[in-house]
Amino acid sequence: MTTATTAIAPPLLALTGVRKEYVPRRGLFGGAAEPVRAVDGVSLSVDRGETLGLVGESGCGKSTLARIILRLVAPSAGTLRLDGQDVTRLSRARARAYRRRVQMIFQDPYSSLNPRMRIDTLLREPLLIHGLARGGAIEAEVERLLSQVGLATDALSRYPHEFSGGQRQRLAIARAIAVSPEVMVADEPVSALDVSIRAQVLNLLADLQQARSLAYLFISHDIAVVAYLSHRIAVMYQGVIVETGPAREVLRHPQHPYTEILLAAVPVPHPRLRNQAVRHPTGETSVPHGAPSGCRYVARCPIMQRRCQVEPPELHALADGHFVACHLR
């Protein structure tokens, strides 16, 4: 649109009211199965050069959300927009174009690299599929990719099993950036790596973002790792975003009781801080069935009130970009 000079540019990737329901298989005696709401009305956005960190515990729906963004599963409701264009439903050809622009890296790089392919084949494949280089240019591009992720060219003639976990994650990253994506969804990308290797991969991701203005959706259960890379943080609980805001603001002034508990549960960084840590009693997450009548957090919430049991809280703004879904904040 040439007339849009006064309008604010839409965010690069935006989700609005995204929901995903799974209907569980009927049990042995065929009882009516209630649908499980893995993701229940999530709206979020990521911009160029920005990292949105998505934190939550197992079963909160963060990986389902990633799969929706990658268009690996279709949402039951809601829309997905890239550069303002609705991409929730796409033709085959446009889906391929979308996949070039939105790439992913996963926790286990070994299962995402074909073990029978040599590294040069693995890195050529995305270039060929998307027609991004041909002839001698491919050679040069593959070598450039390797050096960008900090690997030597002797890697090209080897197979994935010959590499360590950290190197394999570098290869998975090389493959993802091969097609010059704009958005990268990273689902627990360093959780399987050794401590000494984790920092290497986190710094590599930061450098690539800087060099390529990549937008990251960085998903992890580890809030310290998320905080290191993220500009903004979103906290997910039982399929909904309960709090989102600038990373430092969320760390310093968490508003949702669940965010408070998550932060308080992070191990102290030094033994001397042990006794200063505040410990809250916490329950455990269960999978949500059906639509709850009130706030999903009532069962674990230390400050819960009557209203919370009947009325689900909406996300509302507190300060600059800081939102919380809690009646009491």
**Contact positions toward another protein, by CB under 8 A?**
57-58, 164-167, 194-200, 202-203, 206, 221-225, 227-228, 247-248, 251-252, 261-274, 279, 282, 284-286
66 vs 102, beta carbon nearer another protein? 66
- d(Cα 130, Cα 145) in Å, to the nearest integer? 16
97 vs 251, beta carbon nearer another protein? 251
3-state DSSP assignment of residue 35: coil
| DSSP codes joined into one string, 250-277 | HHHS--SHHHHHHHHHSPPSSGGGGGGS
15 vs 263, beta carbon nearer another protein? 263
List, in order, residues 6 or more apart from 112 with CB less than 8 Å away: 105, 106, 172
- d(Cα 204, Cα 210) in Å, to the nearest integer? 10
CB of 85 to another protein, least distance (A): 33
Crossing angle of helices 136-148 and 165-177, rounded to 10°: 130
94 vs 280, beta carbon nearer another protein? 280
From the list 253, 262, 264, the residue with the least C-alpha distance to 318 is 253
CB of 90 to another protein, least distance (A): 35
CB of 254 to another protein, least distance (A): 10
CB of 222 to another protein, least distance (A): 7
252 vs 306, beta carbon nearer another protein? 252
From the list 163, 280, 196, 297, the residue with the least C-alpha distance to 238 is 297
CB of 200 to another protein, least distance (A): 5
CB of 193 to another protein, least distance (A): 9
67 vs 198, beta carbon nearer another protein? 198
- d(Cα 75, Cα 19) in Å, to the nearest integer? 6
Backbone φ, ψ for residue 79 (5° rounding):
-125, 155
CB of 18 to another protein, least distance (A): 23
Strands (E), the chain: 13-22, 36-46, 51-55, 77-82, 85-86, 102-105, 183-187, 215-220, 232-237, 240-246, 316-319, 322-324
Backbone φ, ψ for residue 289 (5° rounding):
-110, 135
126 vs 166, beta carbon nearer another protein? 166
Q: Which two tokens stand for residue 55?
A: 């934190």
- d(Cα 277, Cα 296) in Å, to the nearest integer? 26
Task: Provide the residue count of the chain.
Answer: 329
166 vs 239, beta carbon nearer another protein? 166
CB of 138 to another protein, least distance (A): 28
